[in-house]
Structure 1
Amino acid sequence: MFARKQLRKFGISDDVVRANVKAGRWQRVHRGVVALFSGPLPRSARIAAALLYGDLPAALSHRTAAQEWGWWPVDDGPIHITVPYGTSALPQAGVVVHRSRAFKKIVVSHDPPRTSRADTVIDLATAEPDEASAERTLLSVASANRVGAEEIRARLAARPAYRHRIALDRAVRLLGEGLTSMLETRYFLDVERAHGIPRARRQVPVNAFGRKLLEDCSYEATGVPLIVRLDGRTYHSDAETAFRDRRRDNFAELSGTARLVYGWQDVARTPCAVAREVMVVLRREGWQGPTMRCRKCLGP
């Protein structure tokens, strides 16, 4: 995969390029970019062509960077690249071009070059059409892929001109308060926030039988001794974790603390049912705050 100006340096004229393309030996991929082979373009060639078209420096970003980081499955969609602000590259078939004034700060040295993990999260969030979607995307992508709040906060400070600023700053604060997994994020968004349930304290330390353990969600700040445990099987299947969870269960029972346990299927498929059960315990223990019905509760 070559840019035509690269070929000229090797003494290959534009006439030779045109002749080879016309003969079907080579193929024009983008304006000024040629593949020195015929047939379908593998993903690596499509990526190389997009970066060459961006007229280096250019870097993979947004959805394509997320795929290269291993967060999302690879597809046949367009390649997203980011170029420095002022670059003349325009969108082409198969290439989405983004521009950044902070290009030098957001790109990491990699093969192929791409935006940093934190900047990829930010790009995906700022591309959303509204603040609610931007906040959900930042929380979901960051928590699912272990991109920390401090890392994202530092990147936001380095690139202050970004969309949905209030929503993203709020999302980073929530990450910093203990949303450490996709399951915890979905519980917060689809159970607590969507139904007006008071926000629990996250990752609350408890001293159970001489061991310091962390509870996922504690509602003691509302005056209700209720623990909600979010049982993500990926992190709760080994013997040591199972032993830890039993100790937490026993400690909660002995201390008179109500507890509810939910997994991914509960929160992802039936968040309204989960919310109703949490509200039953909150009401039973005397909490009288307002709640609400979400769009799923109201139905079509």
Structure 2
Amino acid sequence: MPSPHDPVREVAQAQGGVISRIQLYAVGVTRAEVRANVRAGRWRRVGSQSVSMTTGSLTRTQQLWAAVFEAGPRAFLDGAAALEVAGLQRYQTDRIRVSVPRGARVRRARGLDIRQTRRWHADDVVGSGLPRARPEVAAVRAALWAQSDRQAALVLTMAVQQEIASVEAIALELLRILRDKRRILVQQVVLDLMGGVRSLGELDFARECRRRGIPEPTRQVVRRGRHGRYYLDVYWDEWGVVVEIDGIHHSWAEQIVGDALRHNHVTLGHDIVLRLPLLGLRVAADEFFEQICEALRSRGWA
């Protein structure tokens, strides 16, 4: 015999075991029945707007569904939370970001960051499943909302490396951002990720050398090894110090072996080889240039 709770379980099952109060009332469950099931320990209240069909600790999926229900009917996961649902691994923030359109009621809830956004648009939301921003939209916003420049660069890089969003899609989405304090940094990181800014990284490096009083090195020095000709990004031949400026492509599998052979060949020739990721030039320049100065001093500079 069918149970009156079958429609409830069917809806909740598709949502990780969580159902909103609006959905409960829509299938004929009354407020009194909700209270009775919660008191009996069959269901569990989650915030003020949803109920879990299980009574143990909430899974991450349940937390994310409940976050959207808590924020209102047009709410969706945004930023890092949306990337997490899309499959991003090893990156998680303490608070779940949920966006609502301007003018919507904003509820305060523990562990949630519910905010109105002027950038809210229905086309930004994935059309099925857990309401969330499209990956490229989420990646840009996660970077703009990150707690630091370092974190902003990290989330963009991870989203591209893990193939959550293509760098081309992220770049197109970034064109929509006209004003933001971090817009220029995000643009630079996206250019780095596109792999077409080798010369840009070297020009930035030369500019930093001049600003810090470091002799400007020779760029794109040709060397020959057992496997043919290769280039050193920057080289101080007087002191035998090399800096290789690594874009995102240097972390890809097809580059690793060639990079290692080249690095080893230069080292066997008694030059010092330092590696500087382009992301490091953006977010940790001081630390890397301290190492460069240390290498130059060890060879007699200054």
Q: TM-score, with normalisation over the residues of structure 1?
A: 0.62
Sort the Cα spacing of 1:78 and 1:128 in 2 relative to 1 into closer, same or farther, 3 A. Answer: closer
CA distance in structure 2 between the partners assigned to 1:237 and 1:145 by the alignment: 14
Distance 1:243 1:96, change over 3 A: closer
SS for the counterpart of 1:28 is strand
Aligned residues of 1:102 and 1:159 also touching (Cα < 8 A): no
Once the two structures are overlaid, the 10-residue window that deviates more, 58-67 or 273-282, is: 273-282
Distance (Å, rounded) in 1 between the aligned partners of 2:295 and 2:221? 21
Report the counterpart of residue 257 of structure 2 in structure 1: 242
The match for 2:160 is: 146
SS for the counterpart of 1:158 is coil
The runs of 5 or more residues in structure 2 that have no matched partner are 1-17
Q: Deviations over 1:129-152 (max 9, x none)?
A: 6xxx34x33333323443666443
Is the aligned partner of 1:123 residue 2:141?
yes
Partner of 1:295: none
Sequence identity (%): 23
Confirm or deny: 8 A CA contact 2:78 2:98 kept in the other structure: yes
Structure-2 residue corresponding to 1:84: 101
Mapped contact 2:171–2:190 kept (Cα < 8 A): yes
Q: Deviations over 1:258-280 (max 9, x none)?
A: 6614499xx89x74652224544
Instruction: Establish whether residue 107 from structure 1 lines up as the match of residue 125 from structure 2.
Output: yes
Q: CA deviation at 1:201?
A: 10
Map residues 14-53 of structure 1 onto 2, 5 A cutoff. Answer: 14-53=31-70
Pick one of 244, 247, 252 that aligns with 1:229. Answer: 244
One-letter amino acid matched to 1:156: L
Residues 247 and 26 (structure 1), Cα distance of their counterparts in 2 relative to 1, 3 Å cut: closer
CA contact (8 A) 1:71 1:145 kept: no
The alpha carbon displacement at 1:154 in A equals 1.7
1:59-117 Cα distance to aligned partner (Å, 9 max, x none):
32233234333243557x44322233332242312322133333334334564343334
Q: 1:271 to 1:112 in 2, by over 3 A?
A: same
Letter in 1 for 2:100: V
- Does residue 218 (structure 1) correspond to residue 227 (structure 2)? The answer is no
CA RMSD of aligned residues (A): 4.9
Distance 1:245 1:26, change over 3 A: closer
Letter in 2 for 1:146: V
Counterparts of 2:180 and 2:67, CA distance in 1: 24
* Corresponding pairs, count: 262
Which residue pairs with 2:11 in the alignment? Answer: none
1:52, distance to aligned residue in structure 2 (A): 2.1
The answer (yes or no) to whether the contact 1:213–1:248 under 8 Å persists in 2 is: no
Cα distance in structure 1, aligned partners of 2:209 and 2:89: 26
> For residues 157 and 28 of structure 1, do their structure 2 counterparts lie closer, same or farther at Cα, with a shift above 3 Å needed?
same
